[in-house]
Every structure is written in structure tokens, then in C-alpha cells.
Structure 1
């Protein structure tokens, strides 16, 4: 016997064996399975060669299964059931999920969305640990090498193996200390002022700062800090301005005044990004839904 003959046994062959054993007829089995009689006969011939048993023999005008065929049919039913279960996605529940989930975000995105996400995890998935790492300049390698499972960023990395979903858009606003100055109403007042901004390493400006420079809009930056959390101490007690996403007023820049930028400028989009390996995973699909639910609670 060929040593790899058993590899020719597949689910269809097992299904034929069970059908013929139960129907005691090749014709009836073919009708039941929606195939031709010759296809059933061919499969039985293949199974006979593999099992070295007649499997089904004539009995009067019909056929009956051999003792070995009956035993094999019983085992085949169990195997087919297992294969059916194998093909179905397991029923997944958040409460049973035990994992450490890593999300890359800057301080703005972190404080805006992730405390609410952590609260949802504590309630629905208490065995999940949320780890937050700085996003810096988000790269494909962060997701490909599984440094994190999700990235929140206004500038998604470009790659065919990652997926992105826009979370929201934000308007840029001018923040200032109202005890020290009024809002810069005119373009001239805005450009004559001194500014605080964020410059990520290595020397990556905010998208708005890059856009303004590209359009020939020059401002005097007195202070540059590596994250949004560093802005408030430099605004308080000074006449400095900071032009940053407006939703910072809800946390990192709470207590400062803000006004419309007296120069027409683009809005800032925010995206959730993940690798395709997690796209259909029920746990991470649920996690992404929770992030979107957090976004829905924001005052847009």
C-alpha cells in the first residue's frame, strides 16, 4: 500500500461514506449529496483501496455495509462534526479575553481617548491590560513587528498590509493665558506674537506648522516642546500663543482660553491604524469598536 494513501481521505470522502451507509444505496446517497452516481462510486473505490475493505456489498437488490464500514462510518460522523466546529469561528466574549493590548499614541490622543477606553475594558474585559507607548513618528514596523496592535495618529503610515479608519477631525485653535492678553483677532496680531509649539523627535513639526511654512506663513517660535503636555507651563503668565488641536481644551490645556485662528488653515484628521493580521480577529474587532464608542462620546 502506498504510504501516503491515507492523505487522500478528505471531508467529502467521509461524507460519502456516511451517506451510503445510512441510505444503503449509491443512488440515494448521490441524490442526498447532490452529486452523480459515478462520483459516489469513484469515491467508494478510492476508500476501498485505502481501507482494504469492500465497505459495501450486494444484498438482494440493494447493498449493505460491511462491519468495518459501519465502524468507519461512526468514526467519520465524529470527524465531520469536529471539522464543522473547526470551520466555525469560536463564540468570543470580552469577559473571557486575557491579554496585554498595546496602543501607540501621543499625549493628546492618549488623554483624549484612552482613559475612557480603559474604563470600558475594566467593565467588559477585566482581564485585559492596556499598555500605552509613545507613537513618535508612527511607522509600519511598529505594527508589522507587533510593538503595538493599534496606532492613533493624524498621519497614518502607508502600507498595503495596514488598515486605517478615520476617528474624527479637529479644528486648530489658538490657546493663550486670558490673564495676560486678549485673543489675537487679526492676522497681524497673530503673526506679531511669539509662539509655543510641539516638535517631535527627530525634528518633526506639527502638521499645521509644516503646512504654514509651506504656504509662506512665518511665525516666531519662542518655545518648542516635545509634547502637548509641555505647552501649558509656558503659556501661563506670558503673552505667548500656541496653535494646536482644539480638543486639548478638555484636558492638557484645560483652564486656558482659546480662539479661532485668524488665518484660514486645514482641519486635523485623526486615524486608528492596525495590521491586517488583526483585521478579522473577534477580540481586536471588538476593541476597535470600543475605541469608536469612546470617540462617539466626545463633544464634536
Structure 2
């Protein structure tokens, strides 16, 4: 089917831009309708309108689903920028959190998600009830996540390098060795630590945790028996076994609750945590306010999650 541009750019509005992103991210008309709170027929109608404006099919069938065309992927980048500009237009002047209506996307893995984002959401509900917090996994964050507006903020110990990327350190955490106290005693010596089997996290093939790289570079060679794609996968392998996992200590109050932990019996670095954003948002009043709110939850969140010493 050929799509001809029958309408000029003045027919383009924020709803159509949001629609493009909703269909792209949901991967289906049904999912986009649920996300936008409208009917599937309404999504189909607006999608046809957008196709006429852009002169491109935007989405084509692939098996039982749909996939975006190259043109749709490129337009999505511009759509995010336009929506951000429209939002700034509406918020020009003095920023009032209570009037803010938006979906703010934060990229965070399970550790920082569980420690920081629930208390942040509590503050948003009290001060900016029109804000919806969308959380996506950061894995190993890339420049494109921020440059292409896949998210507005990243929380990660690994800031991507780029002249247009800004960062601020939120806190540092100490690594601890986690284990099931019903199955084994805490390793207190280097020999006991190295003799054990270990569980670790590998987000991408051939890309281990910074800690694992740091220890290996200093001759601390551990036997990894299990590698999982996120911290949430570690506890089932520790419970009921004599395996060890060396992870951020703050996890003891969340994912690793109920397991015992002890100090790492070899020299070990700390783990920094940063919030990271694109320079286009540096002076945006809404973004600045939300960054300040995130900073405000750090100290109390860490106090609640502080592991017990042993």
C-alpha cells in the first residue's frame, strides 16, 4: 500500500506524537491503546492519520505482531524531542510541580530501582500527582538511551562517556559477601573465599560486573558456578546452597533479605552510584526539580537499607 502525504504539518499534534511512541514501545495497537487509555479503533484511526502526514506505513506486520519501519524509528527520536519542547513550553515561567502532567522515564537496574525509586514515587504522589514514573532496565547504560530520549534519567554505577552527558554521584556502597547461614559459615579468610563456588551477575555477554573485573585484575580468581542477568536472579541460588555472592551491601534490605552477609575477606573497592542525564535537560526547571527530589530521598533510603555488620 502506498502512503501519500495528504495533510500538512499543521495537522500534527502532541497526541499523534504520543501515539507514535506508544505503538513503538508497546509493539502493538492493543498495547498502545491500553497505555493511552483509548480504544483500539481510536489508535488505528490516529495511526492512519499519522501515516498520511508522514507518507510512510510506519508499522508493518511481522508474524503475529508489528514492527516499526526505519522511518518510524527515526521519527520517534524527533517525537521525543518535540514532546519535550512542548512540555517546556507549557511549563515556561515558574515551575509548579502540582501542575506537571507527564510520564517520566528512569532507567535503573533492580538494585537502584528497589532502594531509591519507591521513596521517590512517594514524594511525587504528594507533590506532583500528575507525574507517572516509568521504570526501564538500564543494564549497561548507553549514550543512545539519553540522546534518543528512551529515558530522561539513568541511575547507574556506570555512566556512559559523552561530552553531552552529565552526571552526579548519589552515594557509595560497600560490597559484602552474601550466603545462606543454614548451609555454611561466613568465609573469613581469602582461602575460604576462593575455595567456594560463586554466583555473579552478567548483564551482557563477555561483560562482567566492574567488581569482578577489578578483583580478577588483582589476582583474585573465583569459581563462578552461576551467572544470572540481574541481581534478582541471585537469591534462589544462594538459598539452600553453600554458594557465595559478592554484591552491594544495601541489597540486604531488599532482594537479599533473609540471607546473611559479611565483609569481603580480600581488598575490595566501593561501588559508586550516579544519576545521569542529557545536557538538554540541565536547565529545564521540571527536570531540575525531579533530580533534586531524587537526591532528597537518598539519605533516608540508605539509612533504612543499611546492612547489619558482621
Partner SS for 2:104: strand
Structure 1 position 154 matched with structure 2 position 162: no
Of 231, 241, 245, the residue aligned with 1:228 is 231
Which residue, out of 164, 168, 176, partners 2:179?
A: 176
The residue number in structure 2 matching 1:216 is: 219
Q: 2:103 aligns with which of 100, 104, 111?
A: 100
- Distance in 1, matches of 2:246 and 2:265, equals 11
What is the aligned counterpart of 1:241 among 240, 244, 263?
Answer: 244
In the TM superposition, residue 294 of structure 1 has moved relative to its aligned partner by 1.1
The alignment status of 1:203 with 2:206, answered yes or no, reads yes
Displacement of 1:236 in angstroms is 0.4
Higher alpha-carbon Rg = 1
Describe the SS at the equivalent of 1:253: coil
2:153 and 2:139 map into 1 onto residues whose CA distance is 14
* Structure 1 unmatched ranges of 5 or more: 1-85
Instruction: Give, in whole Å, the separation in 2 of the partners of 1:261 and 1:209.
Output: 13
What are the Cα deviations for residues 110-154 of structure 1, in whole angstroms up to 9, with x where unaligned? 111111111111111111010001101111111010000000111
Question: Which aligned runs of 4 or more in structure 1 are off by greater than 4 angstroms?
Answer: none
Deviations 1:55-102 (A, max 9, x none): xxxxxxxxxxxxxxxxxxxxxxxxxxxxxxx9x961111100000000
Q: Distance in 1 between matches of 2:292 and 2:204?
A: 31
* 1:63 aligned partner: none
Task: Report the secondary structure of 1:265's partner residue.
Answer: coil
Query: What's the TM-score once normalised by structure 2's chain length?
Result: 0.67
How many residues were matched structurally? Answer: 214
Q: Within 5 Å, give how 1:253-272 maps onto structure 2.
A: 253-272=256-275
TM-fit CA distance, 1:193: 0.4
Deviation at 1:162, TM superposition (A): 1.1
Aligned counterparts, 1:1-300, within 5 A: 90-297=93-300, 298-299=302-303
The TM-score normalised by the length of structure 1 is 0.70
Question: Is there any run of 5+ residues in structure 2 with no aligned partner, and where?
Answer: 1-88
Structure 1 residue matching 2:216: 3-state secondary structure: helix
Offset at 1:194? 0.5
